[in-house]
Amino acid sequence: MRVAVLSDIHANLEALRAVLSDLGKGADTILNLGDLVGYNASPNECVDLVRDVGMHSIAGNHDQAACNPRLAAGFNIYAHRAVLWTREVLYGENTRFLASLSENSRFDFGLACHGTPESTTSYLGLHFQARALLKKMKNGSLGRGNVCLFGHTHKRKVWRMDVRGKVAPEEIPENGTIELLPEEFYLINPGSVGQPRSGDPRSSYLIFDTRENTVSFRLVEYDLAPTIGKIIAAGLPEFFAQRLVDGV
Ligand SMILES: [Fe+2]
């Protein structure tokens, strides 16, 4: 099965459309790892499109905060402003859709979550964090499978635990494709569709071929001008537009 894995769409309709067009019919199913809204100015359009396409979606911390702004108390002041704006403009039906999402999902290959399997707000960025989660996967306490897909950091990443139990980040090659070994364990982040932070403004996603045991990272260019225009017109912080240009 070919699974397209998208994360952190963040109300960026132009980026989402560009990714779906790049994907074409290249996947059997599409998985959205959360943060469908927040930061950018097309929350309803993005929720509508994700629902129309029939993506398997899980909740991100911005999705949860848009339904319950008290959860945004720890957000930075710009992100907090975006949460309040998003809550204001979201149609009731779309708020209910976001509120219905679960925080993680299990599959034959392993599991999918936004931040970590236990938390939508925790970041999986450091070696000790990756090692702790991979150990849980290896000892079977998180169910079957050897792959955990995660988002939240907005950065493409692969952590690998080999048969000795050694954990290391895996270099993503030029062609974007990594082969997975059935005896190893992996944490894989596709990067962000709507607000990439790896220093490259292109939208990032991946295709996980569960039969071939490969993940292929893809970068997609899109026209930033309409997205930026909508951010400014909505009165959202200009900082959100600048970070799209810089890819940070
Ligand atoms: Fe996010």
Q: Which domains occur in the chain, in start order? A: 2-246 (3.60.21.10)
CB-based burial, 135-158: b 16+ in 10 Å, e otherwise: ebbeeeebeebbbbbbbbbbbbbb
What band does 174 get if pLDDT is binned at 50, 70 and 90? confident
CA of 35 to the centre of ligand 1 (A): 5
CA of 194 to the centre of ligand 1 (A): 9
Short-list 73, 157, 147, CA closest to 123? 157
Evaluate if residue 162 carries a pLDDT over 90.
Answer: yes
What band does 28 get if pLDDT is binned at 50, 70 and 90? very high
Q: What share of the chain is helix, strand, coil (3-state, %, to 5)?
A: 35, 25, 45
- Tokens 């398997």 belong to 56
CA of 34 to the centre of ligand 1 (A): 7
Tens digits of residue pLDDT in 175-212: 899 999 999 999 999 999 999 999 999 999 999 999 99
CA of 183 to the centre of ligand 1 (A): 31
Evaluate if residue 99 carries a pLDDT over 90.
Answer: yes
Note the pLDDT of residue 36: 98
Q: Which residues pair with 119 in a beta bridge?
A: 116
To the nearest 10°, report the CA torsion of 97, 103, 108, 109: 120
Residue pair 104/117 in contact (Cβ under 8 Å)? The answer is: yes
Residue pair 109/1 in contact (Cβ under 8 Å)? The answer is: no
Over residues 217-236, the mean pLDDT reads 98
CA of 1 to the centre of ligand 1 (A): 27
Short-list 86, 95, 47, 91, CA closest to 67? 95
Q: How far apart are CA 244 and CA 230, in angstroms?
A: 13
Q: What is the largest CA-CA distance in the chain?
A: 54
CA of 8 to the centre of ligand 1 (A): 5
CA of 82 to the centre of ligand 1 (A): 12
Q: How far apart are CA 162 and CA 38, in angstroms?
A: 36
Q: Which residues pair with 74 in a beta bridge?
A: none
CA of 209 to the centre of ligand 1 (A): 24
Residue 213 Ramachandran class (φ > 0 left, ψ -120 to 50 alpha, else beta): left
Evaluate if residue 217 carries a pLDDT over 90.
Answer: yes
CA of 54 to the centre of ligand 1 (A): 21
CA of 196 to the centre of ligand 1 (A): 9
Residue pair 87/66 in contact (Cβ under 8 Å)? The answer is: yes
CA of 191 to the centre of ligand 1 (A): 10
Q: How far apart are CA 34 and CA 194, in angstroms?
A: 11
Q: How far apart are CA 35 and CA 26, in angstroms?
A: 23
- Contacting residues for 131 by C-beta, under 8 A, at least 6 apart: 161, 167
Q: Half-sphere exposure of residue 71, counting CA atoms within 13 Å on the CB side?
A: 15
CA of 164 to the centre of ligand 1 (A): 33
Q: Structure tokens of 183?
A: 């005896």
CA of 214 to the centre of ligand 1 (A): 25
